[in-house]
């Protein structure tokens, strides 16, 4: 989480990123959606998605599997 400090008074605050990604997530919500659409709609490989996101194959695969389960199976 990014921290900022006011040079005038020294007050420190953190940027709220909860809207962009889950806590401790390696990929943003938009990156997850892009990866899932790439695999399901565009028939990209996990390797291609990982390359596009700049992450390891395992990271992309785990994220896509979790997001696919959440979006395609868990949501009704």
Token pair 């806590």 is found at 23
d(CA 35, CA 51): 11
Model-level pTM greater than 0.75? no
Instruction: Give pLDDT, residue 1.
Output: 64
Are the C-beta atoms of 25 and 7 separated by less than 8 Å? Answer: no
Instruction: Give pLDDT, residue 18.
Output: 64
29: tokens are 């919500």
Our CA angle for 47, 43, 67, nearest 5°, is 70
Answer whether residue 58 shows pLDDT above 80.
yes
24: tokens are 């401790």
Answer whether residue 32 shows pLDDT above 70.
yes
């Amino acid at each position: 989480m990014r921290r900022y400090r006011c040079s005038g008074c020294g007050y420190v605050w953190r940027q709220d990123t909860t809207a962009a990604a889950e806590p401790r997530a390696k990929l943003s919500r938009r990156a997850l959606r892009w990866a899932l659409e790439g695999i399901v709609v565009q028939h990209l490989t996990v390797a291609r998605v990982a390359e596009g996101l700049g992450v390891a194959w395992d990271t992309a695969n785990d994220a896509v599997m979790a997001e696919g389960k959440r979006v395609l199976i868990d949501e009704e």
